[in-house]
Amino acid sequence: MGERSSGAPAGAQDHGDTLRRDFRTLRVKMVLLGSSGVGKSSLALRISKDNFKNNTSPTIGCAYLTKVVYLGDVTLRFEIWDTAGQEKYHSVTPLYYRGAHAALVVYDITKRDTFMRAQLWVRELQKQYIPGSTVIALVANKGDLDDERQISKEEGQRVSVDNGLLFMETSALSGHQVSELLLVIAHRVKQSIGEQQGALTEWKDTSLVDLNRRTFNPFSSCCFNAPP
């Protein structure tokens, strides 16, 4: 009992073995920072659910979402903290980005003041973190409004190079380069932070799951699968 049938090909793995396979999942805290109205909430929703909603209300305090990324030998569970961009919440924002493994500093390509504000956020983050402990990306959002652009791509790239940041132009509306951004962040977190002993903690689902009843699908559409 429990032996593989004689008709199974050598090296084959039966369905039950596949369902019982352990998936090592590491927790990654990611925070979105930037001025009010740059599209942080829309970007967070696009990252988490691949969805977009018009007329989103300003975030009060902070919103929380999750996203799972598979990188072959490890799974990263992004815990996404979408912070409020209004000035009155600035004093409490450090409570949310403290201990973050990744930070997306977002600006609106049609509003130069948000670009200047993003650079202030970058400087503030650089004071808080030891180099290599946090992956920081400068994100130029609302790429679908290219006709109204006030900040060139070259300007954003120059600031990123000067500060050693990742850089990506995105559109939360269309989803342009949002998956690419997440994938780059995931690989960078795995390479630069995941190698540090104890830097990423393991996430365990505390709910009881009967895999044989297929109540859990590690490759469901809610998750983003990275290519090998």
**All domains of the chain, ordered by start, with CATH?**
23-200 (3.40.50.300)
Q: Rounded to two decimals, what is the model's pTM? A: 0.76
Q: Check residue 68 and give its pLDDT.
A: 96
Tokens found for residue 215: 């109540």
| Alpha helices (H) along the chain | 15-20, 40-49, 93-97, 112-128, 153-163, 178-188
Q: Check residue 211 and give its pLDDT.
A: 37
Q: Exposure pattern of 66-86 as b/e (b: 16+ CB <10 Å)?
A: ebbbbbeeebbbbbbbbbbbe
| Alpha helices (H) along 21-111 | 40-49, 93-97
Q: Are 30 and 108 in contact (CB under 8 A)?
A: no
Helices (H) and strands (E) in the chain, counts: 6, 7
Q: Check residue 196 and give its pLDDT.
A: 62
Distances in Å between the Cα of 210 and the Cα atoms of 16, 17, 64, 134, 207 are: 12, 14, 27, 36, 10
Q: Check residue 183 and give its pLDDT.
A: 97
Q: Check residue 92 and give its pLDDT.
A: 55
Q: Check residue 59 and give its pLDDT.
A: 52
Distances in Å between the Cα of 163 and the Cα atoms of 30, 124, 140, 177 are: 19, 12, 15, 22
Taking only the tens of pLDDT, the chain with its 228 residues reads: 444 444 444 444 443 434 434 567 899 999 999 998 999 999 999 999 999 977 565 554 567 899 999 998 889 999 999 876 545 445 555 776 788 999 999 999 999 999 999 999 999 888 888 677 899 999 999 999 999 999 999 999 999 999 999 999 999 999 999 999 999 999 999 988 766 655 787 877 644 344 333 333 333 334 444 444
